[in-house]
Amino acid sequence: MIVGESDRGRLLIVSYTERGDVIRLISAREVTQTEREAYEEG
């Protein structure tokens, strides 16, 4: 799982899997307020 900012400035949690040279997206969602606060605190 990774946390990152989209091109539109939305903070997202993305889960994915790597199989060989292929990266497959499992899910992506906007973070909750609690997750955002934890991310911003570092």
pLDDT digits (tens, 9 = 90+) for 8-36: 999 999 999 999 999 999 999 999 999 99
Token readout for 10 is: 């939305």
Q: pTM surpassing 0.75? A: no
Q: Give yes or no for residue 42 having a pLDDT over 90.
A: no
Q: Are 17 and 26 in contact (CB under 8 A)?
A: yes
| CA distance linking residue 18 with residue 3, whole number of Å | 17
| CA distance linking residue 42 with residue 6, whole number of Å | 19
- Buried/exposed 5-37: b ≥16 CB within 10 Å, e otherwise: eeeeeeeebeeeeeeeeeeeeeeeeeeeeeeee
